[in-house]
Structure 1
Amino acid sequence: MPGGVDDPASPSGGNVYDRRMCEELAKIGWQVHEHAVAGNWPQPAAAARAELARVLAQSPDGTVILLDGLVACAVPDIVVPEAERLRLAVLVHLPLGDETGLAPSRAAALDALERETLRAAAAVVVTSEWAARRLVAHHGLTSGRVHVAAPGVDTEPPASGTDGASRLLCVASVTPRKGQYRLVKALAAVADLPWDCVCVGGLDHDPGYVEGLRELIEKYGLGDRVRLVGAQAGAELDASYAAADLMVLTSYAETYGMAVTEALARGIPVLATAVGGLPEAVGRAPDGSVPGMLVPSEDPAALPAALRRWFGDPGLRDRLKTAARERRTALDGWETTSRNLAGALEQFILEPGRAA
């Protein structure tokens, strides 16, 4: 796992997933040994590369090793030589080349490295059906070697909200991929409506992006309505969810979107861009109703239009809240995730082999 997996100042969906799988696999009878390798992944310095190489080299033949893709995918020179004697599975939270803001040449280089690593792995684990289709098509993987273990969620008490409409909540690290710039622009287009927006998420991943976002907020005169409160966890994050009326997530790329199900676990409707695995995370209530609004990512008018519908149609709000409460009762927990992951590992535990 990446070295910062337990850093409370840098929470992420991938870190939460990795931590919960270590805990949940142990609960269902697996013997789990953790290795967190500190480094600037996926571009590690020599010391981090050496540490990963040492961990793999010291593992006995036939050991089942699950590698976070952030650690493994860009270093096939370290991983591939061990793939014949170890049973290696790679957990891909986000394809490396899908990160927003990469130069085309850099994205292509990461793609090539990732492809080499994944084709050598005995199994690839992803967090959504969309991600499975994406990797099979993009990297030419055998579909039988790609397994889905979607993130679980802990059901929480229903959110009380504010007045039922006006408190918007965005939970996402403040980075280009999460799309906070376009969220602020959409909010500026509906500045006449009675909203306020709390943005929860780490502010140290891309300082230049954060600075530009603050300038954009001030440019539109929204300094008292859009609050960047930084990373939150535990009771502090619970309080932010409890006060929310609508969850907004305007990402450019997501393999799943754990913040979406965290909101739905509290009965909070969701407004999100229809990218990657986000439609899967939003899902449907048992009666087939959708607990939120999905808007096309490429249409800049879609977000403000959806916000106007939210505020202007009380019947729509009631329907979405009802669907969110029903979806809340149907969400899978982390035990389901761990059993799906265990099933993926068990399929190759007797025969390591290569993925073609």
Structure 2
Amino acid sequence: MTRPLAFAVPGDIATLTGGFIYERRLLEGLRRAGHDVLHLELPAGFPDPSPPDMAAAVAALAAVAPDRPLILDGLVFGSIDTAGLARVRAPLVAMIHHPLAQETGLSPARRDHLFRTERDNLRLARHVLVPSPHTRRILTARYGVPPDAITVLRPGVDQPRLPPAPAAPPLILSVGILHPRKGHDVLIRALSLLPDLDWQAVIVGNLWDRDHAAALARQRAASPAAHRIRLAGRVSDDDLQALYARAAIFALATWYEGHGIVFDEALVRGLPIVSCDAGAVPDTVPQGAGLLVAPGDAQAFAAALRSLLQAPDRRRAMAKAALAAGAGLPGWQQMADRASLVLSRI
């Protein structure tokens, strides 16, 4: 059964972050499944909207017809005024990648405000879509969302377009927006502890926090391993595919993930993963395919990288486990078809 839907996202849905990629592919997949999906581009200021942006978003959502279930991006859902959201006539479907109060670097007052707002707004949702069991556990335990009102909709993954072509020396690849939560500064500190080994590293990431990006550039320049670390910034899809093909290890020193699409991209390419035991990462990275350390621990992260660089046999075994796990991941249309079934019942 297909039905009219609405999907509201703040700003440009083509923005290169995992959350926006997830939502864009879901929107496209729902349309391919036969749904008439109205795309609402809300003001880009969320989760910190100006008063005019807040008013514009509430007005746009309130105008959606009551026969269109409305999927609302989590940046908006967790921060929009509760009284304004209560004016919406369409059945609300929350898309929560991770609760906003879990973000890195928040003041206690800001964290409390976001927690209370998101908790209250979730009481208005008819259903909730999340990318991982971890996010579902948080929403049930801390936000009081009934388990049967949540669907885990694991992101899809595209198959690699290029065959593996490992670089020499081994390439350590990291992919994630230039934001403090991604831990690129921790990765650079870890790489700086490996001057005696042969490796090269590339950090790919769309500019998100300009001050943090500038700090990363200064940190990299001051590193004793600066000549082996490249801050690539945003790259074309063709260049990213080539980097994945040339990589030997995928590394992301993240502080928190609601899922982490880049881990699936690494798995489907058979890349061993070094990351952190944080958020949904243990749900996403299977045992045997990755090494997880405490977030923020550069020495432990360096030790994990060292263990893979010095033991090619171990690296190959983990690569085999990663490839096997990647073979079982859903495609993007499979994800959208599953969402279609859920939305058709609302």
Please classify the TM superposition score into its range, dividing by the shorter chain length: over 0.9
How far residue 283 of structure 1 moved from its aligned partner, in angstroms, is 2.7
Q: Name the residue aligned to 2:167.
A: 162
Distance 1:217 1:300 in 2: 14
Q: Name the residue aligned to 1:229.
A: 232
Distance 1:19 1:341 in 2: 13
Q: Tell me the secondary structure at the aligned position of residue 35 of structure 1.
A: strand
Q: Name the residue aligned to 2:308.
A: 310
Instruction: Indicate if the aligned counterparts of 2:193 and 2:299 stay in contact, CA closer than 8 A.
Output: no
Distance 1:340 1:275 in 2: 27
Q: Tell me the secondary structure at the aligned position of residue 252 of structure 1.
A: coil
Q: Name the residue aligned to 1:41.
A: 46
Instruction: Indicate if the aligned counterparts of 2:195 and 2:224 stay in contact, CA closer than 8 A.
Output: no
Structural mapping, 1:319-334, within 5 Å: 319-334=317-332
Distance 1:336 1:275 in 2: 27
How far residue 17 of structure 1 moved from its aligned partner, in angstroms, is 0.7
Q: Name the residue aligned to 1:3.
A: 11
Instruction: Indicate if the aligned counterparts of 1:76 and 1:114 stay in contact, CA closer than 8 A.
Output: no
How far residue 67 of structure 1 moved from its aligned partner, in angstroms, is 0.3
Answering whether residue 156 of structure 2 is matched by residue 152 of structure 1, we say yes
How far residue 30 of structure 1 moved from its aligned partner, in angstroms, is 1.6
Instruction: Indicate if the aligned counterparts of 1:89 and 1:123 stay in contact, CA closer than 8 A.
Output: yes
Instruction: Indicate if the aligned counterparts of 1:79 and 1:117 stay in contact, CA closer than 8 A.
Output: no
| TM-score, length basis structure 2 | 0.92
How far residue 217 of structure 1 moved from its aligned partner, in angstroms, is 1.8
Q: Tell me the secondary structure at the aligned position of residue 256 of structure 1.
A: coil
Distance 1:227 1:298 in 2: 21
Answering whether residue 104 of structure 2 is matched by residue 100 of structure 1, we say yes
How far residue 236 of structure 1 moved from its aligned partner, in angstroms, is 1.9
Distance 2:122 2:252 in 1: 29
Structure 2 residue corresponding to 1:136, chosen from 140, 152, 157: 140
Classify 1:262/1:66 alpha carbon distance in 2 versus 1 (closer, same or farther; 3 Å): same
Q: Name the residue aligned to 1:19.
A: 24
Answering whether residue 37 of structure 2 is matched by residue 32 of structure 1, we say yes
Answering whether residue 287 of structure 2 is matched by residue 246 of structure 1, we say no
Distance 1:233 1:223 in 2: 23
How far residue 86 of structure 1 moved from its aligned partner, in angstroms, is 2.0
Higher relative contact order (CA 8 A, sep 6+): 1
Structure 1 residue corresponding to 2:59, chosen from 37, 54, 57: 54
Instruction: Indicate if the aligned counterparts of 1:67 and 1:89 stay in contact, CA closer than 8 A.
Output: yes
Instruction: Indicate if the aligned counterparts of 1:159 and 1:268 stay in contact, CA closer than 8 A.
Output: no
| TM-score, length basis structure 1 | 0.90
CA RMSD of aligned residues (A): 1.7
Amino acid at match of 2:271: I
Structure 2 residue corresponding to 1:183, chosen from 184, 187, 203: 187
Identical residues among aligned pairs (%): 32
Structural mapping, 1:199-218, within 5 Å: 199-203=203-207, 205-218=208-221
Q: Deviations over 1:114-164 (max 9, x none)?
A: 11111211111110001100111111111111211010101114422213x
Amino acid at match of 1:40: G
Q: Name the residue aligned to 1:287.
A: none
How far residue 171 of structure 1 moved from its aligned partner, in angstroms, is 0.2
Q: Name the residue aligned to 1:71.
A: 76
Q: How many residues in Structure 1 have an aligned counterpart in Structure 2?
A: 337
How far residue 293 of structure 1 moved from its aligned partner, in angstroms, is 1.7
Q: Tell me the secondary structure at the aligned position of residue 41 of structure 2.
A: coil
Instruction: Indicate if the aligned counterparts of 2:267 and 2:323 stay in contact, CA closer than 8 A.
Output: yes
Structure 2 residue corresponding to 1:127, chosen from 131, 134, 139: 131
How far residue 79 of structure 1 moved from its aligned partner, in angstroms, is 4.8
Structure 2: gaps of 5 or more residues: 1-8
Distance 2:141 2:66 in 1: 31
How far residue 299 of structure 1 moved from its aligned partner, in angstroms, is 4.2
Distance 2:146 2:303 in 1: 41
How far residue 298 of structure 1 moved from its aligned partner, in angstroms, is 5.7
Instruction: Indicate if the aligned counterparts of 1:178 and 1:249 stay in contact, CA closer than 8 A.
Output: yes
How far residue 46 of structure 1 moved from its aligned partner, in angstroms, is 3.1
Structure 1: gaps of 5 or more residues: 285-289, 350-356
Structural mapping, 1:273-312, within 5 Å: 273-283=276-286, 290-297=288-295, 299-312=297-310
